[in-house]
Amino acid sequence: SLHAQTSPIDENGLALGGYDVVSYFSGKAKKGDAKINATFNNANYLFSSTANRDAFKKNPTKYLPQYDGYCAWAVGAKNAKFPVNPETFKIIDNKLYLFYNGPFNGGNFNTLVEWNTDEANLLKTANANWPTLKNAK
């Protein structure tokens, strides 16, 4: 559902709520199939096809989301780790960025809209913030 924000890796080790990280690169967020999976860095990734799984296994880092799957806007604008809506994403320079899109202060807050208003600066700040934020609890 639109309002289901997910941790990049949940308590069961499932990555991105079961979404297929390779599918984003063809322009659509697709749910993976539990039977078609691969493990990387102790996380379980699901795929919508065996071709996608094979592509991931050849080069996982090519497909993994930036900032360990946390909301890109929050890393840049707030220096914070926010969960994401796996269906709210953007591919920039062949890299996957995910965004929070859900309830906030009684309304809906889609951080991708905010990101798009100042992408160049937010991307620069996010890349600068991430090395320290990455290990922050």
Give tens-digit pLDDT for 102-135: 988 888 999 999 999 999 999 999 999 999 999 9
Provide the terminal-to-terminal Cα distance of the chain, rounded to the nearest Å.
27
Give tens-digit pLDDT for 59-93: 999 999 999 999 999 999 999 999 999 999 999 99
Question: What is the pTM (predicted TM-score) of this model?
Answer: 0.93
